[in-house]
Amino acid sequence: MRLILNVRHWLPILTFCPVNNLPDFIYVTVKFETFCELYAVRKKIKELLSLKTIFMEDAAKLILDAFPEATEVTVTLAFNRHVVVVRR
């Protein structure tokens, strides 16, 4: 049996768009094939992204680099208007 763990948070994280400096509310999903503690992952994601001026692509790469055991990171805007997916 193969373990696949998806970690999501239910409240959006507030970031700012570097182009127009408007707020972006993003959601992050991180996929693992090993066990990771949910609270620790969500806390780390919030610390890395909250109130930062960052592109969605850079946010996804930052999260992927922060979790070497992660296999995929998805960053979406509210209502799935824009979606960025990075994979190992």
* pLDDT value at residue 9: 82
Rounded to 5 degrees, what are φ and ψ at 10?
-95, -20
Helix, strand, or coil (residue 57)? helix
* Orientation of helix 38-49 relative to helix 56-66, angle to 10°: 140
* pLDDT at site 3: 81
pLDDT at 24: 92
Identify residue 61 by its one-letter amino acid code: K
Q: Give the model's pLDDT for residue 2.
A: 80
**Whole-angstrom Cα distance, residue 18 to residue 10?**
24
Q: Which residues contact 23 (CB under 8 A, 6 or more apart)?
A: 14, 15, 16, 17
Q: What is the pTM of this model?
A: 0.90
Query: What are the residue ranges in the chain where pLDDT is below 50?
Result: none
Helical (H) or strand (E) element with 85? strand 83-87
